[in-house]
Amino acid sequence: MWVDNSGYNDFGDVHLRKNKFIGWKRTDDLVKKDLISVPIPKIKENINIDESLLQIYGWYLSEGNSEKCRINIRQKNKKTVERIAKLSSRSSILKDGDCYKVRIYGKELAEKAKKDFGHGSHNKKLPKWIFNLTKKCKYIFLKSYLEGDGNWSDRLSSFTVSEQLKDDLIMFYLALGYFPSVGLQIQDKEYKGNKWTSRGWRISLSKTDSEDLLPKLNLKFNFKKSTRRSYLKRKNNFLIPITNIEKTHYKGNVLNLETEDQTYAVPFTVHNCFPRDVRALTYYANTIGCNTHIVESVKETNKEHLEFQLQDFFKKHSKDETIVFDTVTYKRGTIIIEESQQLLYAVKIAAAGYKVIIKEHPLVIKQVEKIYPGLFIYEERE
């Protein structure tokens, strides 16, 4: 995890202190007010979809369900129901208890809504293609969803009982450039003698972010504006302050997720952010249909960090110094140089005119010399 050893003041306004920089830290070295870096997903936004269809999907996600040849959307406000019905020429409105139900007909529409957005409130989700919509289309879709499940009386928020949709919305906001907060809400409920425990999540934006996003959605708000920000946004990442640290004792199995070729091809993110491991994780995730927006954005963070390292190095070291690398493989203890950040670092330093010595295994030296003949001085080691 990238960590910036900066901080924020007691009022929650994050700021960067001078002469502080991003770098690696061990987990047990973290302290309160350190800033942890969260990459901003880099996603191609090139899909345009009919605006009425996007609004239907937004309403379906918040208030809808599907049947064989139609989707149903429930709402209490009659004017809202009439507005939804106008989105399709094949629609009807029915009174349903104290609510109204909009029926929008079409077998293909019903099947796609069920497949892409889920069926039943606990199974709602976002499809992959929704992330590739243009900004304009994303705003249209999000507005309809929030008109059903959202609230912006104090700040922009929405509630869902679907854990998958909760995760998808976090990613959706991150891709839009906003860092959401998530709160678990558990309530004991009773209806007609039946008791159960309700479990759901409220996804919220800060007031500052709400003030920025709501006008883009053409949604009016009247809450008091705020200038406070609980995080810093940079070009490729968010910097989030640590507000609390807890340690727990663990007793049980510790699993080694490393594969035979020393990659980490697993369907979730481990601590390792080496470029080769990122590629392996991306490949595996794609084979099982998982999105990899955060993982992909780690690539940009790695590039940004390398550039910072180089600029910092050039400031601190003169060209009459001899620079020694005791390894240039993608990870210490291997002989793999493919996508090695350490090797790329050495190459750029040598190309800038520095004398660079590499101490490596003979097999590694042979690979490096073949790609970069005459660039380095070598010393063999076991």
Edge-first strand order for the sheet with 322-325 is 322-325, 355-360, 377-380
Same domain, 60 and 198: yes
User: Is position 85 within any domain?
Assistant: yes
Same domain, 65 and 177: yes
User: Is position 243 within any domain?
Assistant: no
The pLDDT value given to residue 269: 41
User: Is position 241 within any domain?
Assistant: no
Same domain, 212 and 343: no
Cα gap 134→113, rounded to integer Å: 20
Q: What is the pLDDT of residues 265-278, one digit of tens each?
A: 443 444 445 566 66
User: Is position 281 within any domain?
Assistant: no
Cα gap 267→53, rounded to integer Å: 32
User: Is position 16 within any domain?
Assistant: no
User: Is position 280 within any domain?
Assistant: no
Q: Give the number of domains in the chain.
A: 2
Q: What is the pLDDT of residues 136-165, one digit of tens each?
A: 999 999 999 999 999 999 899 999 999 999
* Torsional class of 12: left (φ above 0), alpha (ψ -120 to 50), beta (otherwise): left
Q: Average pLDDT over the chain, rounded to whole?
A: 83
Residue type, 253: N
Give the chain as a 3 state SS string: CEEECCEECCCCCEECCCCCCEEECCHHHCCCCCEEEEECCCCCCCECCCHHHHHHHHHHHHHEEECCCEEEEEECCHHHHHHHHCCCCCEEEEEECCEEEEEEECHHHHHHHHHHHCCCHHHCCCCHHHHHECHHHHHHHHHHHHHHHEECCCCCEEEECCHHHHHHHHHHHHHHCCCCEEEEEEEEEEECCEEEEEEEEEEECCHHHHHHHHHHHCCCCCCCCCCCCCCEECCCEEEEECCCCCCCCCCCCCCCCCCCCCCCCCCCCCCCCCHHHHHHHHHHHHHCCCCCHHHHHHHHHHHHHHHHHHHHHHHHCCCCCEEEECCCCCCCCCCCCCCCHHHHHHHHHHHCCCEEEEEECHHHHHHHHHHCCCCCEEEECC
The pLDDT value given to residue 251: 82
Same domain, 201 and 59: yes
CATH code assigned at 203:
3.10.28.10
| pLDDT bracket for residue 289 (50, 70, 90) | low
Query: Are 73 and 63 a contacting pair, CB within 8 Å?
Result: yes
Of residues 281 and 55, more confidence is placed in 55
Same domain, 188 and 78: yes
- Domain end point (choices 195, 217, 239): 217
Q: What is the pLDDT of residues 201-246, one digit of tens each?
A: 999 999 989 999 999 999 988 887 777 777 888 887 888 888 888 8
CB atoms under 10 Å from CB of 276, counted, come to 22
Q: What share of the chain has pLDDT > 70, as a percent?
A: 81
Same domain, 68 and 197: yes
Same domain, 85 and 201: yes
pTM given for the model: 0.68
* Stretch 366-382: mean pLDDT: 91
- Domain end point (choices 217, 246, 273): 217
Q: What is the pLDDT of residues 334-357, one digit of tens each?
A: 888 887 888 999 999 999 999 999
The residue segments making up the domain with residue 143 are 51-217
User: Is position 87 within any domain?
Assistant: yes
Query: Are 232 and 161 a contacting pair, CB within 8 Å?
Result: no
Same domain, 208 and 327: no
Query: Are 174 and 157 a contacting pair, CB within 8 Å?
Result: no
Query: Are 204 and 155 a contacting pair, CB within 8 Å?
Result: yes
Same domain, 68 and 213: yes
- Domain end point (choices 151, 185, 217): 217
Q: Given a cut of 70, is residue 175 above it in pLDDT?
A: yes
Same domain, 65 and 188: yes
* Stretch 314-329: mean pLDDT: 91
Cα gap 171→44, rounded to integer Å: 14
User: Is position 73 within any domain?
Assistant: yes
| pLDDT bracket for residue 23 (50, 70, 90) | low
Cα gap 306→284, rounded to integer Å: 26
CA-closest candidate to residue 219, choices 135, 143, 137, 134: 143
Q: What are phi and psi of 74, to 5 degrees?
A: -100, 140
Same domain, 175 and 322: no
Cα gap 39→286, rounded to integer Å: 19
Cα gap 332→330, rounded to integer Å: 7
Of residues 7 and 101, more confidence is placed in 101
- Only one residue has tokens 């590039």, namely 303
Q: What is the pLDDT of residues 85-136, one digit of tens each?
A: 999 999 999 988 888 999 999 999 999 999 999 999 999 999 989 999 999 9
* Stretch 306-330: mean pLDDT: 89
